[in-house]
Amino acid sequence: MIIKLYNTLTREVEPLTPLRKEYVAMYSCGPTVYNYVHIGNLRAFVMTDVIQRVLKAIGGYNVRWVMNITDIDDKIIHDSAAGSNVWQEEMGASSSDAKQNLRAFTRFYEDEFLKDIVSVGLDINHFYKMPRATEYIGEMQELIRAIVKNKFAYISDGSVYFDVTAYEKSYAYGRLFQIDRENFREGVRIDADEYDRENVSDFALWKGKKPGEPFWEFEIEGQQLPGRPGWHIECSAMSHAILGLPIDIHTGGVDLRFPHHEDELAQCCGGYGVSDQSSFWVHNEHLEVEGKKMSKSLGNFFTLRDLIKLGIDPIDLRFALLLAHYRSKLNFTFESLKAAAASRKRIQEFIWDVISVSNGTSTDGVKNESESVSAPSFQYLKKAAEALADDIHTPRALAELNTFVGSVSIGELSAQSASAILSEMKIFNEVFGVWTFSPHSAIEVPTEIVLLAEKRWEARKMKNWSESDRLRDEIANRGWTVMDGKDSYELEPRQ
């Protein structure tokens, strides 16, 4: 199926036509590893994960998916410096070697990041590569030399800056984000950078070393400029080195449109001479909590571990994130998270019911193929797939999936229809990744509970209702629910 995506470059939903026959090249801006990711960050990673899954499962493409790890930037340098008050014991001993501290610090948060994204359903094997910025310093320096050589950058006071004014004479600047430089807001942020650049719209490609900071040697135009890369240069250099330019899809949060992506694009055009870094630029909207931007001061700031502490299953968070379209703001509330969990469970129960029909263990009875059974309404699934192909419309797809589930009567299914449903549902789960297709494993029930339940079943058979109800209460007090069937009962942990 043709996949359509909203492209920030054209501000339109466009059909994707991959540039290469063999695979779709996709680059996602990854985390800056200086802290635990929060649920807003996770939305971006889940979104980008679902895009690549749709490309594979619905589009039928091979995908080379790259996500970078930013392990060098101002905050990292600050927080990993010797004597930092945010240094964690697990990072090991802080030393006098700034580079070594930086490495210990970032590796710690990189590991935590990987754990977190796996928790919310990403599969590390899906990545073609997860490059660290510090491992591509050479490529970045090469790109910077090329940009300087092309006269789109200048050296000033030990640093290298991109010259937007010069660049604009040959290329368009502001393709992803129309900036209005006449009306730059007055404020401290513009002057926050202590480095010397000629124009406020210029940005650093290379930042000269400051005392105590980690640095890399850099020779350019016969000068020695020890220092470190600017923020934007890594993504330009790594997308070029690993995937080759132009790529098909570049993703990130809306806030990255400007300056990060705009500057990446300018660096690629100005340095590599390509006309585009990427055909598609896809940006996800932010997540809000109780209608407000997440912020620590408002007390509505959550990391994944905060939610896990509250007893929330990370996969329910994944599902809750997919309940909204990626280009809409998502209002995260605990009530909606609870609703998401119940909704996910509903489909999971359906899958388990269908599995029991397909393997003949259903207690509802299985129909023969010859018996006139109503065929499952597969048109809903077709619509669901179309919704995914249409700019990754997960909420519409889930609505169709729910309608499909509601249209199927388990008791009317043949084993063959059940198998057909399962193979269809598996395709959707390749995208959503929130359900399991293993048979409903019997949860281990403690012997004492089983004994009580057996006793109750006997009492019930004798129509001794008061004893039966007493035992049910006792079982309930110990955390289990009894559900009576026709010839047997089931035990489930109480919710």
Query: Smallest gap, in angstroms, from Cβ of residue 191 to RNA?
Result: 9
In degrees rounded to 5, what are phi and psi of residue 318?
A: -55, -50
Q: With binding defined as CB under 7 A, does residue 336 bind RNA? A: yes
Q: CB of residue 20 vs RNA: minimum separation in angstroms?
A: 26
Residue 110: which H helix or E strand, with range?
helix 98-119
Q: Which of 8, 26, 31, 234 binds RNA (CB under 7 A)?
A: 31
Q: Would you say 83 and 94 are in contact if contact means Cβ atoms under 8 Å apart? A: yes
The window from 53-61, 95-103, 106-114, 196-204 that contacts RNA (CB under 7 A) reads 196-204
Dihedrals φ, ψ of 493, to 5°?
A: -65, 145
Per rule CB under 7 A, count of chain residues that contact RNA: 84
In the bound complex, what is the minimum distance in angstroms from residue 361's beta carbon to RNA?
A: 16
Among 80, 141, 201, 239, contact with RNA (rule: CB under 7 A) = 201
165 scored as a contact of RNA (CB under 7 A) = no
Q: For 471, what's the count of Cα atoms within 13 Å in the CB-facing half-sphere? A: 20
Nearer to RNA, 308 or 323 (CB): 323
Contact between 106 and 80 under an 8 Å Cβ cutoff? The reply is yes
**Using N-to-C axis directions, what is the helix angle for 334-358 and 415-432, rounded to 10°?**
150
Binding span for RNA by CB under 7 A among 146-154, 201-209, 217-225, 425-433? 201-209
d(CA 481, CA 205): 63
Residues in the chain: 495
- Residue 32 engages RNA in binding (rule: CB under 7 A): yes
Element (DSSP H or E) covering residue 97:
none
Rounded CA separation 251/327 (Å):
12
- The interface with RNA within residues 265-294 (CB under 7 A) comprises 284, 286-288, 291-294
Binding status of residue 73 toward RNA by CB under 7 A: yes
Contact between 328 and RNA per CB under 7 A:
yes
Residues 6+ apart with CB under 8 A from 364: 353, 356, 357, 410, 411
Q: Which amino acid is at 12?
A: E
Q: Write the binding mask 95 to 134 for RNA: x where contact by CB under 7 A, - elsewhere.
A: ----------------------------------------
Tell the smallest beta-carbon distance from residue 335 to RNA (Å): 4
CB 454 within 8 A of CB 489: no
Interface with RNA includes 175 (CB under 7 A)?
no
Our finding on whether 209 is near RNA (CB under 7 A) is: no
User: Using CB under 7 A, which residues numbered 421 to 460 contact RNA?
Assistant: 460
Residue in the block written with tokens 């026709």: 486
Listed ranges 109-117, 236-244, 389-397, 428-436: which one lies at the site for RNA (CB under 7 A): 389-397
- Minimal CA–CA distance to 385: which of 339, 420, 432, 353? 432
Kindly state whether residue 474 participates in binding RNA, applying the rule CB under 7 A: no
Q: Does residue 403 touch RNA according to CB under 7 A?
A: yes
Closest to 120 in 3D by CA, of 314, 316, 324, 320:
314
Please, which residue, 97 or 198, has the CB nearer to RNA?
198
Q: Which helix (H) or strand (E) holds 162?
A: strand 159-162
Nearest distance from C-beta of residue 440 to RNA, angstroms: 12
* Of the residues 89, 180, 369, 371, which one makes contact with RNA according to CB under 7 A: 180
In the list 175, 228, 240, 325, the residue contacting RNA (rule: CB under 7 A) is 325
For RNA, give the closer residue by CB, 98 or 339: 339
Q: How far is the CB of 429 from RNA (least distance, A)?
A: 17
- Binding-site member from 36, 258, 352, 378 for RNA (CB under 7 A): 258
Sole binder of RNA in the list 174, 226, 244, 395 (CB under 7 A):
395
- Residue 68: phi and psi, rounded to 5, are -85, 160
d(CA 327, CA 372): 44
Q: For the beta carbon of residue 263, count every other beta carbon within 10 angstroms.
A: 24
Give the shortest CB-411-to-RNA separation in angstroms.
9
